[in-house]
């Protein structure tokens, strides 16, 4: 069977992209991958444990002084594992390998096109640790009969986010559409005869009903509602050998390894974009205090730039996400 998880980073912020990601694995039977890969992955951050990388909710992993290094070690080790080669050494290489759908229009925003590809990866994590984790991950996966199927992401940059919000009439629809593109990337992968496919997604805000959205996204496949409750909504899309199960659950990052890993990839890639944004604007205003892009601090960041006369009206329209 194929077990997959989808999560996002950056749904609520004022600045920076929305990034969604998927991780999917082929296993012989329903498998807890935290247990199957226990020799290599830890379910909780353990700063003193140099032998394992962390797979957990990205908000938990990123917390604290070593958060970006831990996110990066996990994301790049799994990029290498999924790609059957070395980890990507530039942001462009990471995007080329792992973006689902059309490439993000990085050249359309100067704070990304001028800065992003100067980054050499890893930014802060140890290359040796990533290489060691990748080798041990491959060995553990062979022992546990776990095979990577897809490890992909979908960045929605600020100008595209605003365009899609205008066209789709809500940012919730923008998030759902990004998730659909990840599902389509998964469905393009070969499946064995009668192989089950199960996808768990973190719930989209307070939304409880997804059948109508799924039917619109996959009009040639029937959608069967299995349950719709406050904690979890479950559906089967299609029938026969091409069917797949998809569920939306509250706190899915704590329920499934695949969702937690997707949250790490999404958060890591968003952090790369936000780092580029900060570098570009602090090159213009050296004493500018950096931002993580969240609403209150994003407003502070914009105010600081405007007081310095360092933000044109066109740049503001491109930079600020509609809500």
| β-strand pairing of 232-237 with 244-249 | antiparallel
What would the mean pLDDT of 230-259 be, rounded to a whole number?
A: 96
pLDDT tops 70 at residue 66: no
What would the mean pLDDT of 280-291 be, rounded to a whole number?
A: 96
Q: Report the percent of the chain where pLDDT is more than 70.
A: 98
pLDDT tops 80 at residue 63: no
pLDDT tops 80 at residue 2: yes
- Backbone dihedral angles phi then psi of residue 288, each to the nearest 5 degrees: -65, 135
Task: Give residue-wise pLDDT tens across range 23-52.
Answer: 999 999 999 999 999 999 999 877 777 789
pLDDT tops 70 at residue 65: no
What would the mean pLDDT of 82-110 be, rounded to a whole number?
A: 94
| Contacts with 119 (C-beta within 8 Å, 6 or more apart), sequence order | 90, 91, 272, 275, 276
CA 175 to chain centroid: 12
What would the mean pLDDT of 173-195 be, rounded to a whole number?
A: 95
CA distance 131 to 134: 5
CA distance 238 to 257: 25
What would the mean pLDDT of 212-218 be, rounded to a whole number?
A: 97
- Scanning the chain, the segments in alpha helix (DSSP H) are 33-36, 58-62, 67-83, 91-98, 110-113, 127-144, 158-168, 171-187, 211-217, 252-255, 257-284, 295-307, 313-319
- pLDDT, residue 114, reads 84
- pLDDT, residue 62, reads 86
| Residue in this structure with the two tokens 């290359």, named with its chain if needed | 127
Q: pLDDT-based confidence at 287, cuts 50/70/90?
A: very high
pLDDT tops 90 at residue 218: yes
- What's the chain's average pLDDT? 94
Q: What is the CATH number of domain 2-275?
A: 3.30.420.10
pLDDT tops 70 at residue 77: yes
Q: What is the pTM of this model?
A: 0.96
pLDDT tops 90 at residue 206: no
- CA-wise closest residue to 149 among 20, 19, 6, 27: 27
Are 320 and 313 in contact by the 8 Å Cβ rule? The answer is no
Domain ranges within the chain, ordered by starting residue: 2-275, 278-319
- pLDDT, residue 51, reads 84
């Amino acid at each position: 069977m194929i077990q997959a998880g989808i999560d996002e980073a950056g749904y609520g912020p004022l600045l920076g992209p929305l990034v969604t990601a998927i991780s999917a694995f082929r296993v012989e039977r329903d498998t807890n991958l935290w247990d199957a890969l226990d020799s290599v992955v830890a379910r909780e951050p353990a700063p003193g444990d140099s032998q394992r990388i962390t797979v957990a909710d990205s908000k938990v992993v990123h917390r604290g002084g070593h958060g970006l290094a831990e996110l990066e070690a996990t994301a790049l080790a799994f990029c290498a594992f999924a790609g059957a080669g070395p980890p990507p050494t530039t942001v462009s290489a990471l995007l080329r390998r792992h973006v689902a759908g059309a490439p993000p229009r990085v050249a359309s925003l100067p704070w990304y096109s001028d800065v992003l590809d100067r980054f050499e990866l890893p930014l802060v994590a140890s290359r040796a640790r990533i290489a060691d984790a990748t080798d041990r991950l491959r060995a553990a996966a062979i022992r546990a009969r776990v095979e990577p199927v897809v490890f992909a992401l979908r960045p929605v940059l600020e100008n595209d986010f605003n365009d899609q919000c205008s066209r789709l009439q809500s940012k919730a629809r923008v998030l759902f559409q990004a998730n659909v593109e990840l599902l389509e990337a998964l469905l393009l992968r070969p499946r064995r005869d009668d192989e089950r496919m199960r996808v768990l997604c973190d719930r989209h805000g307070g939304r409880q009903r997804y059948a109508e959205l799924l039917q619109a996204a996959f009009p040639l496949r029937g959608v069967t509602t299995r349950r719709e409750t406050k904690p979890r909504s479950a559906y089967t899309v299609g029938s026969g050998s091409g069917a797949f199960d998809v569920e939306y659950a509250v706190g899915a990052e704590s329920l499934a390894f695949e969702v937690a890993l997707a949250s790490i990839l999404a958060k890591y890639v968003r952090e790369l974009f936000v780092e580029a944004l900060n570098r570009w604007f602090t090159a213009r205003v050296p004493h500018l205090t950096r931002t993580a892009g969240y609403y209150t601090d994003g407003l502070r960041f914009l105010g600081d730039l405007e007081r310095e006369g360092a933000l044109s009206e066109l740049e503001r329209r491109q930079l600020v996400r509609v809500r």
